[in-house]
Amino acid sequence: FQHCFSKSKDFLYCEGVKVQDILDSVEQRPFYLYSKPQISRNFEAYREALEGLKSIIGYAIKANNNLKILEHLRQLGCGAVLVSGNELKLALRAGFDPTRCIFNGNGKLLEDLVLAAQEGVFVNVDSEFDLNNIVLAARIAGKKVNVLLRINPDVDPQVHPYVATGNKNSKFGIRNEKLLWFLDAVKSHPNELKLVGAHCHLGSTITKVDIFTDAAILMVNYIDQIRAQGFDIQYLNIGGGLGIDYHHSGAVLPTPMDLINTVRDLVLSRDLNLIIEPGRSLIANTCCLVNHVIGVKTNGTKNFIVVNGSMAELIRPSLYGAYQHIELVSPPPPNAEVSTFDVVGPVCESADFLGKDRELHTPDKGAGLVVHDAGAYCMSMASTYNLKMRPPEYWVQDDGTVAKIRHGETFEDHIRYFEGL
Ligand code: LLP
């Protein structure tokens, strides 16, 4: 297993390029740094795992919506998983084939459903009112919509409650006791709806593949019931959710191959087309947030490293108490002591931290410090809190050159929102 970030003589490299050199050559502000070849390798792991199965890899755009990254994933062969009309528009802009896209969500808007219907996107039915809106959208668009029923299988994914979705009290999907109502509703709209499959998504950061097996067994059972009602459905969509090794602990975590192998026989036994919806496991480990140290201070019993990045650029630690590995990009100063630090940003609240209780060498002012595994749900969840402005993004390409793949947001961008009012 080849990973894009590696350390040699205390220098951090991305695909053989010294991160310090990149830091020295770009604007002095936090930035995201990706490895393009790592994105390809992560995709390849899924493609290999799916060999011999009819399948769609639907990349969950919410994880990272950089247009250049989307174009790259599309060229590799991905479909896309969408949760808003704007994500659908972006997917179209990136050249995704809409008939390999899936529109999810518990509160899809009519106008977005109309666009999805026009484009021939698969739509997941999430509730009674959602079904009615899809019917309406089909009529407005004058197109029949291919739908999957999003079933809430009540499987506990054993993750943080904010990222668990497939348990019975969650706001997502339909419960099995209502299945017959939905089948009747689909039957009564033969001009608007074609039922083509069943979908579930259990949650995110899942690190035990048995959880997927449990869900797939339940889902195949539902598919049998649905087929017994006379529907010719071919798609099983098992959602996304595979976790990654945020702790860099060397723990052996399930790979895409492990995931697919737990459902392969079930899928083959029913001659199904498998849809998967990975976000994090395709993109998270391809990137880090690169910061520089503003200063070091001590208050009470706590030592702090204050960096220019913050919860505005990367909110997962603040929001979920998530751990993301932190390290310095260059050798520490001679005789630097190792201490326990909270790594914090300049934002005016105590929730603003990137890491707590990290053993690090005391860095010099200006030293580079990275937060790893920042490719998923970091830039896409960034805000402009404290007018920090969203950071630029770069990637290291296959030939080792570095290219900018997104401009950093500027103060002028902010002012533009008020022009002409
Ligand atoms: N499919 C559906 C229906 C989803 O709701 C999600 C993620 C995915 C696929 C992709 O899941 P993944 O493979 O990335 O785990 N902001 C949180 C994660 C929220 C996930 C939302 N749904 C975080 O930073 O951990």
307 — pLDDT class (breaks 50, 70, 90): very high
Give the pLDDT confidence of 87-144 residue by residue, as tens digits.
999 999 999 999 999 999 999 999 999 999 999 999 999 999 999 999 999 999 999 9
Cα of 3 from ligand 1 centre, angstroms: 23
Average pLDDT on 63-84 reads 98
Residue having the nearest C-alpha atom to atom 8 of ligand 1: 240
Atom of ligand 1 nearest to the CA of 241: 15
Quick one: pLDDT at residue 169?
A: 85
The burial class, CB within 10 Å (0-12 / 13-18 / 19+), for 14 is buried
Residue having the nearest C-alpha atom to atom 7 of ligand 1: 204
Question: What are the angstrom distances between the C-alpha of 240 and each of 160, 353, 417?
Answer: 15, 28, 36
What is the best residue among 42, 46, 62, 158 to mutate for testing ligand 1's pocket, by most ligand atoms within 8 Å of CB?
Answer: 62
With a cut of 90, say whether residue 347 has pLDDT above it. Answer: yes
With a cut of 80, say whether residue 338 has pLDDT above it. Answer: yes
Ligand 1 site, residue 278, Cβ cutoff 6 A: yes
Quick one: pLDDT at residue 168?
A: 81
Q: Contact 306/345 with Cβ under 8 angstroms?
A: yes
Ligand 1 site, residue 166, Cβ cutoff 6 A: no
Quick one: pLDDT at residue 148?
A: 98
Average pLDDT on 155-162 reads 82
Residue having the nearest C-alpha atom to atom 9 of ligand 1: 240
Quick one: pLDDT at residue 166?
A: 75
Q: Are strands 273-276 and 101-103 parallel, antiparallel or unpaired?
A: unpaired
Cα of 306 from ligand 1 centre, angstroms: 30
Q: CA-CA distance, 307 to 291, in Å (whole number)? A: 6
Neighbours of 339 (CB within 10 A): 14
Average pLDDT on 389-405 reads 98
With a cut of 80, say whether residue 2 has pLDDT above it. Answer: no
Quick one: pLDDT at residue 66?
A: 98
Give the pLDDT confidence of 173-190 residue by residue, as tens digits.
898 788 999 999 999 999
Q: Contact 38/285 with Cβ under 8 angstroms?
A: yes
Average pLDDT on 374-393 reads 98
**348 belongs to the catalytic site:** yes
Quick one: pLDDT at residue 79?
A: 98
Ramachandran angles phi, psi of 225, nearest 5°: -65, -40
Which of 4, 101, 348, 378 is the catalytic position? Answer: 348
Q: CA-CA distance, 20 to 187, in Å (whole number)? A: 61
1 — pLDDT class (breaks 50, 70, 90): low
Ligand 1 site, residue 276, Cβ cutoff 6 A: no
**What percent of the chain stands above pLDDT 70?**
100
Give the pLDDT confidence of 209-248 residue by residue, as tens digits.
999 999 999 999 999 999 999 999 999 999 999 999 999 9
Cα of 64 from ligand 1 centre, angstroms: 11
Q: CA-CA distance, 245 to 36, in Å (whole number)? A: 19
Ligand 1 site, residue 237, Cβ cutoff 6 A: no
Q: CA-CA distance, 337 to 230, in Å (whole number)? A: 70
**What percent of the chain stands above pLDDT 90?**
92
Mean residue pLDDT of the chain comes to 96
What is the ipTM, given to two decimal places? 0.99
